[in-house]
Structure 1
Amino acid sequence: MTQDRLSIAIADDQELVREGLALLLEQVDGFQVVGLARDGYEALALAGTVMPDLLLCDIRMPGLTGIEVARELKRAASTVRVVMLTTFDDLDFVEAALAAGACGFLLKGEPVDRMVESLRRMAHGEMIYATRHAQEAFRSVAGGLNSTGDHDGQELRASERQEHWLQAVAQDLTEREADVLRLMAEGLSNLEIARELGVSLGTVKTHVHRILAKLGIERRAQAVRLALEMRRGKEDG
């Protein structure tokens, strides 16, 4: 971010949405729209060339979905922060966006002032999940960790779990379960994991069920969060 100027790119397969949102955000003091994309591949290329502070990305697009774009940028260690835009307040989408590394999840029908404030906060490192299902998923992911926030939902911050507990959890998993958990943390679906490991979809579902049981949790998103924390602990170590 150049001083107080926030650069934004917008990816949406509907021209009316992307052009309208661009026109709207260009009127906001301190915002600059630096590029538009019509599909996931254009969004990925735009992020690599323009390097915006925020990439507002429709969750459903031709070519690559918004979640796949976020996943690829995460793998590339890009500094571009991806914000999911959608008309669907769907829990599965939210969990996938979290796993893919998205920094926020906003409905396209959000009031303008709330969207602008959320974008500013996300550009400064906050994670904003402003829909009902998004809040539920993020609370689930953070499970029991410290959090702060207002009634609109937007800010939930998680502190790190204790390292020795994470190590104990990791030791309870078989080698194949650890592989499945690692791929879950990379944002892969059960079907994608099955293809990656060369096993059946049913086998992957069984592994996921066992992983959740061993971790003592109920939701896939919680397992993803733990996996990300374990990975971060190893990198820091």
Structure 2
Amino acid sequence: MAEVTGLVRVVIVDDDPLVRGMLTMMLDGADGIVVVGEAADGGAAIAAVDRHMPDVVLMDIRMPGVNGITATERLRRRPRPPEIIVLTTFDTDEHVVRALRAGASGFLLKDTPPERISQAVRAVAAGNPMLSPGVTRRLMQRVASGAESYEHASNRLALLTPRERDVVVAIAQGRSNAEIATGLLMSVTTVKAHVSHILTKLDLDNRTQIALLAHDGRLV
């Protein structure tokens, strides 16, 4: 996992003020994290991000007005978007896939232990996706039946060089940059360069979306 230096700035988005207060008390000042703002719905979340410029947004899904999925899509289109962790009571396959396809870097349930949530904030701030343990295996088993067809995914993956495809497979297998470097006999710097090129070529936002595309295209 890449190292994060300095405070990680967080905005919390949830329509329940009690949940926002609980998360603020839990995270603010813990493990190098500072909560810089709150919002009660997706529309207010966008304004809060513009105002506070956070590194990470904790985003509920079901909210009045603009929901969390739509807000995530809009935020990820920004020139310098924050990383987004969806934090919700709903863990259906549909919610997981929609959130990750929208550009979320993490998906956690609200009953996740506090230390796990703070670890997730630090992880996504460092560019590493984070999913609840129970979500990952079920997601990968079923994502191929999602919105993107095998043919479409295969056509997009055909844009990659053989080496880039090797990196994509390793990402889909959940390997870190260091593990990919060891397995493919290259430096971590080279792995990071490959990941950056892959994201640009495929017009994706993060490693989780690379993994989804790899599963859609049946590379793993």
- Normalized against structure 2, the TM-score is what? 0.64
Q: Deviation per CA, 1:11-40, whole angstroms, max 9, x where unpaired? A: 000010001110111141311000000111
Q: With a CA cutoff of 8 Å and minimum separation of 6, indicate the structure with the bigger relative contact order.
A: 2
Q: Number of residues paired by the alignment?
A: 166
RMSD: 3.7
Aligned to 1:65: 67
Aligned to 1:91: 93
CA contact (8 A) 2:9 2:54 kept: yes
CA contact (8 A) 1:141 1:225 kept: no
Tell me the CA shift for residue 145 of structure 1.
Answer: 2.2
CA contact (8 A) 2:4 2:125 kept: no
Q: From the superposition, tell whether residues 58 and 131 of structure 1 become closer, same or farther in structure 2 (CA, over 3 Å).
A: farther
The SS at the match of 1:55 is: strand
Aligned to 2:174: 148
Q: 2:39 aligns with which of 31, 34, 37?
A: 37
Ranges of 4+ aligned residues in structure 1 off by more than 6 Å:
221-224
Q: Which amino acid aligns with 1:54?
A: V
Aligned to 1:208: none
Q: What does residue range 56-135 of structure 1 map to in structure 2 within 5 Å?
A: 56-135=58-137
- Normalized against structure 1, the TM-score is what? 0.60
Tell me the CA shift for residue 135 of structure 1.
Answer: 4.0
CA contact (8 A) 1:104 1:127 kept: yes
Tell me the CA shift for residue 116 of structure 1.
Answer: 1.4
Segments of structure 1 that go 5 or more residues without pairing to the other structure are: 151-158, 168-181, 187-220, 230-237
Q: Deviation per CA, 1:21-60, whole angstroms, max 9, x where unpaired? A: 1011114131100000011111111112211000001011
Q: From the superposition, tell whether residues 128 and 135 of structure 1 become closer, same or farther in structure 2 (CA, over 3 Å).
A: farther
CA contact (8 A) 1:8 1:35 kept: yes
Q: Deviation per CA, 1:164-207, whole angstroms, max 9, x where unpaired? A: xx99xxxxxxxxxxxxxx9xx99xxxxxxxxxxxxxxxxxxxxx
Q: 1:225 aligns with which of 192, 210, 213?
A: 213
Aligned to 1:173: none
CA contact (8 A) 1:11 1:43 kept: yes
Q: Percent identity?
A: 34
